[in-house]
Amino acid sequence: MKPMILVVEDEPPLQQLLSYNLKAAGFEVAQAYDGEEALQLIDERTPDLVLLDWMLPEISGVELCRRLRRRSDTARVPIIMLTARTEEHDRLRGLETGADDYVTKPFSPVELIARIRAVLRRVRPAFSEQALSFHDLRMDLTAHRVFRNGREVHLSPTEFRLLRYLLENPGRVFNRAQLLDRVWGTDLEIELRTVDATVRRLRRSLNQNGETDLLRTVRAEGYSLDLKHGVASEGMAETG
């Protein structure tokens, strides 16, 4: 699945240039022209990385960056800030905004994309590898095969895509609507309970030999790939 980059930039030509280059580089792109719009988009779907302009109307880039760091769902989403001049750049580096990297305009798209890839690799090694693994679970992306503790697990294409998405985002909780959107696709009319049914089947396949359940059900929230089973603060583990 393509990493999704949220571009927050108020100048349409630059917004278009960024989106064009990011899409050409294989990323999925969401566009926001101000902080409010960015927050709305983030409520709908957590991006894999935020490219954030320093100079924005209403909420400034710096303020938005701070807010994203304070929100539990975006605290760990990497942020790259764009600044217009080196003075801003220097000032920004001195501020505690929580950004992962800073890029000064004008920049070459090639350099920016290299920086994005570097940040993603650092925080989400899954994006650069041919295999994904978690605990005793291993997914070979080239051969499309899944192994649990050495035993091959046979999955349907949907179960495979769901597991892949969770493996790419370990520990993150997704609600059913988010999973439907990302695993099944937005244009399909599928009921939310389809997600529950697929999770149930996936769980059965993965735990055939009585292994530890790695799929955590977070009550009233959704699902995550997690070893902290039954840790009470966020929700209860499903038993069935």
Closest CA to 61 of 26, 35, 90: 35
Smallest gap from residue 133 Cβ to Ca ion (A): 40
- Is 79 or 162 the residue whose CB approaches Ca ion more closely? 79
- Is 64 or 167 the residue whose CB approaches Ca ion more closely? 64
Task: Enumerate residues 6+ apart whose C-beta is below 8 A from 140.
Answer: 130, 131, 146, 147
Smallest gap from residue 53 Cβ to Ca ion (A): 4
Residue nearest to Ca ion (CB): 55
**Taking the CB of residue 234, how many other CB atoms lie within 10 A of it?**
14
Smallest gap from residue 234 Cβ to Ca ion (A): 37
Residues near Ca ion (CB under 5 A) are: 10, 53, 55
- Is 55 or 218 the residue whose CB approaches Ca ion more closely? 55
Pairing of strands 4-8, 28-32: parallel
How far does the chain reach from its first CA to its final CA, in angstroms? 29
Smallest gap from residue 10 Cβ to Ca ion (A): 5
Is residue 218 classed exposed, middle or buried when 0-12, 13-18 and 19+ CB atoms within 10 A define those classes? middle
Closest CA to 14 of 89, 117, 105: 105
- Is 29 or 199 the residue whose CB approaches Ca ion more closely? 29
Smallest gap from residue 14 Cβ to Ca ion (A): 7
- Is 50 or 195 the residue whose CB approaches Ca ion more closely? 50
Using the structure block, give the residue that is written with the tokens 């924005």.
Answer: 56
Contact criterion met (CB below 8 Å) for 27 and 73: no
